[in-house]
Amino acid sequence: MSSEHWDRIKEILEQALRLAPAERQAYLDSACRTDVDLRSEVESLIASHGEAGSQFLAAAAADVLQMASPRALATGTKLGPYEIIELLGAGGMGEVYRARDVRLDRCVAIKILPPALSADSDRLRRFEQEARSASALNHPNIVIIYALGLHDSTHYIAMELVQGKTLRELLAAGPLPVRKAIEIAAQVAEGLAKAHEAGITHRDLKPENLIISDDGVVKILDFGLAKLTLPSGELTDMSATLACQTLPGLIMGTVEYMSPEQASGRRLDFHSDQFSFGLVLYEMVTGKRAFQGSTPTEMLAAILRDQPEPIGMQNPDAPAPLVWAIERCLTKEPDKRYVSTRDLARELAAIRDRFSEKPVKQVETRPANLPVQRTGFVGREKEVAAAKELLLRPDVRLVTVTGPGGIGKTRLAVHVASSLVEFFPGGIHFVPLSPVIDPGLIASVIVQTLGIREAGGQPPLEVLKQNLQDSSRAPILLLLDNFEHLIHAAPTVAELLTMGPNLKIMVTSRAALHVYGEHEFPVPPLAMPDSLAVPPVDVLSQYPAVALFVQRAVAVKPDFELNRENAAIVTEICARLDGLPLAIELAAARVKVLSPSSMRTRLASRLQLLTGGARDLPQRQQTLRAAIDWSYDLLSPAEQKLLRRLSVFVGGCTLEGVEAVCDTKSDLELDLLDGMSSLVDKSLVQHFEQAKSESRFVMLETIREYALEKLAASGEKPLTKRAHAAYCLVLAEEEAAEQSGAEGTEWLEHFGLEHDNFLAGLDWLTETGDADWGLRLGTALFRFWETREYLAEGRGRLGKLLKLPGAAAPTKTRARALFAAGVLAAEQGDYVSADALLRESLDISRELRDQQGAAVSLNALAVNARDRGDFATARSLFEDSLALWRELGDQKAVARSLSNLASVVKMQGDYASARSLYGECLLIFQGLGDRTGVAWSMNNQGDVAHDQGDSATARTLYEGALSIFRELGDRWGIAGTLADLGSLAREQGNCASARSLYRESIKVFRELEHKRGIARLLECFACSAAVEQEAERSLRLAGAAAALRQNIGAPLTMAEQAKLEGSLQAARQALTNTAGTTAWLEGWALPVEKAIEEVLMPETASRSDQGIGVRNG
């Protein structure tokens, strides 16, 4: 607004205010003439002037502050039997203190009523009566009042002290998770229902008056208090209501939760609480107020007049029955709300009971992802039993399995965990941490292991919290393996435990974490016989240490056996090796070439014999070190070199990898295959066969650390690391190139297997500042990160690389990496960063005259704009991208680009252009001989015609597409197009035909296991049932579809949601609210297979349902 304009407003305002209200209209007519904006501004200010009254800003600031400072009662002040402890809070309704009831020695809350409120003795009496009767209900969801007292002319209320937070405080962080909202709603409804049954109305229900205790119980506060503040419902008219509520920031809070009958000063009953409750629910679910207004007057007008924005448009996660309940509460006419609040409470309880269960699919036991053990587990029965018992104790949540390297912590933990599968239906998840270098990534690795989707750029710890918090979640066990190098991150583990009661954690670590609640489980060495008094052979072989030696020895030398000759020697070897399993394994592996006696001689020079008494930890570490040294020294120099170089691999490698990294210069002087089998024989490397891919070689962490140390000492580390990074780069770039053409998920598995290596390579490139290779490797990994949804991790790594000093130059490599980071950011919903990254990528491509790069960036920018709803920008960007592809003459890309453009043009409602774009797209695909492309273009054109209401054209196009898909045997196309044809038939009232098309479609989707398609079809069936007046069936199927969508994390878009709701309207109207809710919840609990069976039932059987629908209608 210009200052001149504002001066004019001030003048007119001043003049108008001098006039009597009745004369103002005429004055404004002449002063503002046709300037509508000017007039509405002046009118708005006149209204504000009136509402401000004479008091606003009348007192000077200092006086205001002085008045507002609470004159707190001092600790120890006595009010009757209560002794003040401390002030808990203060507000318009008086101060609240924690106090002690000295008679009963219990803590209470004391609320001091402001003198202004307690002055009217009549009101005070009415309030007292109502507060007492509500409290007398003795309901868990209503705060208990102990006493109303008077002390030195101060009225106070003594009540139950609740430890917790108000709903207002919870809402400060935005909408609540739907489950939590339902839980709170169900409890409040219980309390309200009880009060209403006793004839008590709250009248001032709002988030400030609902308190959620730390153990999850919701309490309603201040029943009856409204009688002190609001004019009595019987007498008010609106002006009176307003008169006492017109100061901003003050009673606004109360106006906001008024019912229409309260707002208009009509008589009110319990229905009014239902409305206020509906407003609270609305806010819990959407995070917004249902009605908006900038002043109390506007607010009241909105309550009386406006319809709130549909809930589904704001939170697609809210289950339909909850939305229906809120809508019903928010009906303007009191008698159209719930006949009794008990009904409402019952409905919400039913929703809670159903909804707190995971939808059927997720109740299934999730298989544990524990690593397969390559050899039998020897001994340790006692330890296993003890560890199991410890882990299953209800008070034990964190068990740390400790011991030196090589003692067998991981094997013990895995063995224990695998015997507990039945106790953890939520899954047992093995999280290997040895490849994780940065303690900050622990949460991210756990998120990935659990297969939870990252959303909206939230920190992984937050994502975990949301997933684990749920108290209804099935018990789950995390096995964090090899924690010792991340010991600084121990608090993260403690934090995880606070997230959910049903989570237990087992950690393996060389040292304890020293966090609260930790139970340490030290792993002892394997039991050994006394080497000075060797028992007979059959007894001896029962000792786990000896048994392990024999087992490993037989593996390399099948004819090895324990006999009277070697028994004493084997026992002594085990004793010298401190009963350390890894050391025993390394020794036993040498049986092929060394007899036990020569082995003993060689070991003896390094290790002193253990003669009774346990050794302490450092000594055992020395023993292990010596055993590895011994084993290493026995290798040939070439084998030693190979072992050292192998240490750069993280998470194992293939033979091809070994070749590329360990023998880059052919300087190994060793046949690789021989070398590797030798290392495997000697137990220094383990060999795993893979079902689908090349077998892999993996080193135990203890050995890898040792080898890495030796590598560093040899001076070969930088070269080998570089060779490793180069190998990773080649592998990733090759796979990435193949992936673009490849079908299926093979490439994903390859990337998954090598991911730890790729990350290690990236780390090294980042550390050494090799920007070029680093950016290339990061870019090659980006599709994998995107598909697996390692969004934060991928973006973080690309971000680090892009910041390297060597990465600043505007090269193609940088442009591609920027593009990758931009797409990942967009997937996280961080559109602002995504835009900036993609813009820079575009700028570089333009600068380099890289048309293709520019076209790709433009397309990504356009998708970004479309996803955030900016269709106009999206359209123009798609057009720019299209123009570039045309210049480049890449026909396939042109066609795809046309299709993208058409989609956004259609969203804009420009059907004519959309059709012609799809038409051009179709011609190109025809020219290219791409039949699939042709069919999809026809299908898309059909969608446009369908949206336009041109059913005949739509049908022709769909049928054309269908016949091509059938020729090609493209089942995805067939299923989708059948569903489209079905919906067309349904809309034309041909339900029988619709059903049969839907049936054929859902059968194909079922074969394809395409869950999204199945959900869509269940929704189609629900809509057609609604048309056919099979109301219960309709809502049941809608519930089943919603459960499936929730399960696979594929919510409907808001527009789709609104459309579906519209189609189900008929079914809802045919049933009572409660019956509708019941039907929907039944569907929610229905296994998907059952739902599919139901819709596939033969015509006659399914028609018999109709009777029920009609009766209810």
Whichever of 66 and 740 has its CB closer to other proteins, that residue is 66
- Alpha-carbon span 1020 to 550, nearest angstrom: 65
Report the DSSP pairing between strands 82-91 and 78-79: antiparallel
Name the minimum Å distance from CB 2 to other proteins. 10
Q: How many CB atoms lie within 10 A of CB 283?
A: 22
Tokens 């023993």, residue located: 623
Name the minimum Å distance from CB 369 to other proteins. 40
Whichever of 136 and 172 has its CB closer to other proteins, that residue is 172
Closest C-alpha among 1097, 1035, 1018, 851 to residue 321: 1035
Whichever of 24 and 352 has its CB closer to other proteins, that residue is 24
Are 524 and 383 in contact, with CB atoms under 8 Å apart?
yes
Whichever of 168 and 266 has its CB closer to other proteins, that residue is 168
Name the minimum Å distance from CB 93 to other proteins. 4
Asked whether the CA dihedral 194, 196, 198, 203 is positive or negative, the reply is: positive
Whichever of 44 and 787 has its CB closer to other proteins, that residue is 44
SS3 211: strand
Q: CB within 8 A of 982, min separation 6: which ones?
A: 993, 994, 995, 997, 998, 1001, 1020, 1024
Name the minimum Å distance from CB 147 to other proteins. 16
Name the minimum Å distance from CB 403 to other proteins. 41
Are 693 and 653 in contact, with CB atoms under 8 Å apart?
no
Name the minimum Å distance from CB 461 to other proteins. 23
Closest C-alpha among 608, 568, 614, 573 to residue 590: 573
Whichever of 295 and 410 has its CB closer to other proteins, that residue is 295
Whichever of 162 and 905 has its CB closer to other proteins, that residue is 162
Both structure tokens of 53: 């009254």
Whichever of 169 and 847 has its CB closer to other proteins, that residue is 169
Are 1057 and 1015 in contact, with CB atoms under 8 Å apart?
no
Name the minimum Å distance from CB 491 to other proteins. 21
Whichever of 249 and 637 has its CB closer to other proteins, that residue is 249
The angle at the Cα of 417, spanning 413 to 423, to the nearest 5 degrees, equals: 150
Name the minimum Å distance from CB 274 to other proteins. 22
Name the minimum Å distance from CB 91 to other proteins. 3
- Alpha-carbon span 1001 to 541, nearest angstrom: 64
Name the minimum Å distance from CB 882 to other proteins. 40
Name the minimum Å distance from CB 141 to other proteins. 15
Whichever of 166 and 492 has its CB closer to other proteins, that residue is 166
Name the minimum Å distance from CB 291 to other proteins. 10
Name the minimum Å distance from CB 84 to other proteins. 13
- Burial (CB count within 10 angstroms: exposed 0-12, middle 13-18, buried 19+), residue 902: buried
Both structure tokens of 995: 């059903």
Q: CB within 8 A of 987, min separation 6: which ones?
A: 951
- Alpha-carbon span 211 to 233, nearest angstrom: 26
- DSSP character string of 21-37: HHHHHHHHHHHHTT-HH
Tell me how long the chain is: 1113
> Alpha helices, DSSP H only, in 768-790?
771-788
Whichever of 87 and 1066 has its CB closer to other proteins, that residue is 87
Whichever of 163 and 611 has its CB closer to other proteins, that residue is 163
Name the minimum Å distance from CB 114 to other proteins. 9
Closest C-alpha among 173, 363, 360 to residue 284: 173
Residue 293 has φ and ψ, to the nearest 5°, of: -170, 145
Name the minimum Å distance from CB 465 to other proteins. 20
Whichever of 297 and 900 has its CB closer to other proteins, that residue is 297
Name the minimum Å distance from CB 31 to other proteins. 15
Residue 598 corresponds to which amino acid? S
Q: CB within 8 A of 802, min separation 6: which ones?
A: 775, 814, 817, 818, 821
Residue 917 corresponds to which amino acid? L
Whichever of 204 and 343 has its CB closer to other proteins, that residue is 204
- Alpha-carbon span 108 to 147, nearest angstrom: 10
Tokens 């433009």, residue located: 858
Long-range contact list for 976-981, CB < 8 A, 24+ apart? 976/939, 976/1001, 976/1013, 977/935, 977/939, 977/942, 978/1004, 979/1013, 979/1016, 979/1017, 979/1020, 980/939, 980/942, 980/943, 980/946, 980/954, 981/955
Name the minimum Å distance from CB 146 to other proteins. 14
Whichever of 211 and 1060 has its CB closer to other proteins, that residue is 211
Name the minimum Å distance from CB 37 to other proteins. 15
Whichever of 56 and 688 has its CB closer to other proteins, that residue is 56
Burial call 942-955: b when 16+ CB within 10 Å, e when fewer: bbbbbebebeebbb
List strand residue ranges (DSSP E) for 376-444, in order: 398-402, 428-432
Whichever of 252 and 537 has its CB closer to other proteins, that residue is 252
Q: Look up residue 1053 and give its DSSP letter.
A: P
End-to-end CA distance of the chain: 57
- Alpha-carbon span 612 to 443, nearest angstrom: 44
Torsion of CA 500, 501, 503, 505, to 10 degrees: 110
Whichever of 229 and 571 has its CB closer to other proteins, that residue is 229
